[in-house]
Structures are given as C-alpha cells and as structure tokens.
Amino acid sequence: MTRASLDAPAAGGAGQERAEPLPRGRVGSWLATMDPGYFAAVMATGIVGISAGLAGWPLLAAALLWCTVVLFVVLLGAYVARAVRFPRRFSSSLRDPSTAIAYFTLVAGTNVLASALLPYRLGGLELVLGIAAAALWLVLTYGLLCSIVLAGNRPPLRDINGLWLVWVVGTQSVSVLATGLAHHLPWPDADRALGVVGLLVWGVGIVLYLVLVVIIVLRLLLIETTPAEMGPAYWILMGATAISVLAAAGILALGRAAPVPLLPEMRSFVVGFAVVLWAFGTWFIPMLVLFGLWRYLVRRYPWTYDPKLWGAVFPLGMYAVASTELGREIAFGFLPALAAVWVWVGVAGWCAVLALMVAAVVEGLRQARDRTSETL
C-alpha cells in the first residue's frame, strides 16, 4: 500500500480532504500526511530491545528501551496533534478500513512498551498502559467491524494485504501483557483472572489470524501484485504467527506458576497450535525474502525510507522472543539457540531502517535549505 493510498479519503470524504488543504510547513505537512501505522516504530524498537535482553545483552536492551519510550511519547503526541489540527484527515483515515486497520499499531506498541517495562516495576504504569491499550483494542475492533458490515465500507480485495494482520498482532499483544501482568500484580486471584483473559483473547487472535490469512493468501494468488504493493507489510504475516506463539508461551508459563481455569483441559491444544504456528511462520520466512528480492532487485523498486519498514522489523524481533519463550516452555533446546542468533537479524534490521530514516530526514532538510536559498 502506498503513501497515497494511506491518505486517500474514504467514500464521500474527498470534499472534506479538499476543504483541509496541506500546510506548507514541514512539521505540519508531516502531521497531515502521517502514516496511521507509524506506531510500528514503537513496536519494532521495543521488541528488538526485549529480544536483546533475553539474549543476554542488557546494555543494548536498556538503550533500545529508552528509544522506545522516546518514540512512544513523540509519536503519541503526533497522533493527538494530527487529530486536533487535521480532524477531517484523521476522521477520514478512521472511516476507511484500509487505513483504520493501521491504528492497531497503537495497541500493539503500547503493550510492547508495557511488557518491556514490567521488570522495572514502575508502580502500576504498566497496568495503566495495558488498560488503555485494551480499551483502544475494543474500540478499534468493534468500530472496524461496524464500519465494514453495518456502514458498508467494504475494502476491495486488492487492499487487503499483510497490514491487516496487525489486527491479530494488536489482539495477541493484549494476551501477552495480560499474562505478563499476572506475575506482578499483588491482588488476590489476579493471576487466575488475567490467565483466563490471556487465554480467551489468545483464542480470539487465533481465529482472526486463520480468517485473515486465508483472505490474504487468496489475494496473492488471484490478483496481480505490483512492486509497490509487495511491501514490508507482508512481513507482519510472520510477525502475527510469532506473537501468537509468544502469547501461548505466556499462558503456559503462567499455568506452571498458578492454577489457571480452563488451561488444564486446553494445554495440549495450546502447545500443539503454538508449534504449528511457529512452524508456519518459519516456513514463510524464505518466501518473504523472495518477495523482497523480487521487489528490489528484479523490479528495481527504489530503496527509500518508508514508515512501513518498521512493520518488517517488528516480526524479526518478535520471532526471536517467541522462539526463546516457546523453547523454554516445551523444552525445545534448539529454539533458544536459534533465537540467540536471530536476535542480531532484528538488530541489523532496526539499524538499517533507522539509517534510512535519518538519511531521509537529512535529505529533506537539505532540500528545504536549497529552496530557502533560491527564494532569497
């Protein structure tokens, strides 16, 4: 999906977009055209930091955690500023399902940050973040369904790509944080209640994944895909499997520490489905690499910065974290060993996207300076 498609208005919104012209300033222009999925930068930075911590690199993990906090504050402020300053553009992106789906990165990014903060025990901040993310997940989930089913804003099959699986990622992030919080809350029976929440939300995420992945695979098989459409969003297909595996591992870990209702009857299913998802996600990685080679080397798509690239970094870090945690729970020793190597794939991907982003900012400043010089 291109930048233009993300900022395109929903049906009936063209007049509203024209009534709210693009500002001239760089900051204002960026806010007006801001990618609704930019919070993927928080997701990617946070999960790569968590993977570094699990791999035994605490200084790197701490540095990435600080980066995650800064990105969270800056981007959250940018989202709020966009909604206040450009309400028509903001509401238009929410009415169009093809762009509204990207707002689930807010849910996942908030829960990733909360999960990264859990070891620091910051007096309930993680719980506040988790409650806010869960409330946003409910609003976005039912709002999206009502927009599609009741309001008739049905996206064409061509617009349903890997980005739609961020809905699954946001859902499973609620499950991951629920089981993580269960170890830290002092309230009686909090572990049992949050264990049930984590288990049930995990089930919702699994069904969503199965439904969406079938639609996305059919779209790939039945509709010609252009280099612009074969973007980094398809990596979320692997990221959705990885976070589903991590959620399952969190449920299993909580079940060992405290009695979780329903889990004894479902343990075999949770373990089996987690292994199946991990295998499918692993199997899909070479295909995603081939997609990228076809896009950049065969079809010569330009290597430029795109905020959606953060959506490709997140699955790299999540794959390492999920492999580590699942290996611990089912005694698959090769999984943590694989994750110890794979974590550097995530770090390399994060550094590459950061370098592209810095280069894009520098080039933008240079062009602005040249235009100013010509004016003078």
d(CA 157, CA 238): 20
Q: What pLDDT does 333 receive?
A: 82
Q: Are 310 and 355 in contact (CB under 8 A)?
A: no
* 375, pLDDT greater than 70: no
- Token code pair at residue 303: 């290597």
CA distance 258 to 261: 10
Nearest to 195 by CA among 171, 178, 172, 173: 178
Q: Domain segments of the chain: what residues?
A: 32-368
Q: Are 223 and 157 in contact (CB under 8 A)?
A: yes
Tens of pLDDT, residue by residue over 71-127, are 999 999 999 999 999 999 999 999 999 999 999 999 999 999 999 999 988 878 999
* pLDDT at 21 exceeding the cut of 90: no
Is a pLDDT exceeding 80 seen at residue 166? yes
Q: Tokens in use for 373?
A: 């010089």
- Count of beta carbons in the 10 Å neighbourhood of residue 331: 7
Q: What is the DSSP letter of 183?
A: T
**How is residue 24 annotated by DSSP?**
S
Q: In b/e form, how buried is each residue of 55-94, taking b as 16+ CB within 10 angstroms? A: bebeebbeebbebbbebbeebeebbeebeeebeebbebbb
Provide φ and ψ at 160, rounded to 5°. -90, 100
Reported confidence tier of residue 376, pLDDT bands at 50, 70, 90: low
Give the CA dihedral 140, 78, 164, 146, nearest 10 degrees: 30
Query: Measured between alpha carbons, how far is 92 from 99 in angstroms, rounded to an integer?
Result: 9
Could you give the CA distance from residue 124 to residue 287 in angstroms, rounded to a whole number?
42
Closest CA to 315 of 233, 200, 193, 230: 233
Q: Give which of 7, 127, 54, 24 is closest to 344, Cα–Cα.
A: 54
How sure is the predictor about 58, in pLDDT bands with cuts at 50, 70 and 90?
very high
The CATH number corresponding to 32-368 among 1.50.10.150, 3.40.50.720, 3.30.450.20, 2.60.120.620 equals 1.50.10.150
Mean pLDDT of the chain: 89
Q: For residue 14, what pLDDT is reported?
A: 39
What is the enclosing helix (H) or strand (E) of 129?
helix 125-145
From 4-8, 47-51, 218-222, 355-359, the region with the lowest mean pLDDT: 4-8
Helix axes 263-293, 235-257, angle to 10 degrees: 160
Give the Cα separation of 317 and 290 in Å (integer).
Answer: 20
Q: Which amino acid is at 221?
A: L
pLDDT at 66 over 80: yes
Sequence letter at residue 99: T
